[in-house]
Amino acid sequence: MLAEKFETVHPDTDLNELDYNNEIIKFTNKELVKELWLRFGNVPMNPETEEIEEKWNGFPVGTHREEIWHWFEEAFCVSVAEDLMCL
């Protein structure tokens, strides 16, 4: 399963090659963005401020969800609303 193949991906990581347990694993951006989106969905968020309550993927506590959404859109050339939320 893809989720077992890599750990947190920092925004500056080469998105096509991730080093895991001394082996290089290649991913398509589609697989990677979907897995990261699922992981982001598990991050505790303050419902009033919409800021994350724990550090995630290089983003500090207190980062607003829209800032992270913009990172997804810029890093992966996707639309959060259309491609990730399936709206």
Its sign, for the CA torsion 80, 38, 19, 30, is negative
Would you state the structure tokens that stand for residue 60, as one six-digit string?
């500090």
Number of domains in the chain: 1
Half-sphere exposure of 37 (CA within 13 A, CB side): 20
The first and second tokens of residue 6, run together, are 């890599």
In this predicted structure, the answer to whether residue 5 has a pLDDT above a threshold of 60 is no
Q: Between 66 and 4, name the one with better pLDDT.
A: 66
More confident residue, 44 or 9: 44
* 2 has pLDDT over 50: no
Confidence class of residue 6 from pLDDT cuts 50, 70 and 90? very low
Range of the domain at 43: 2-84
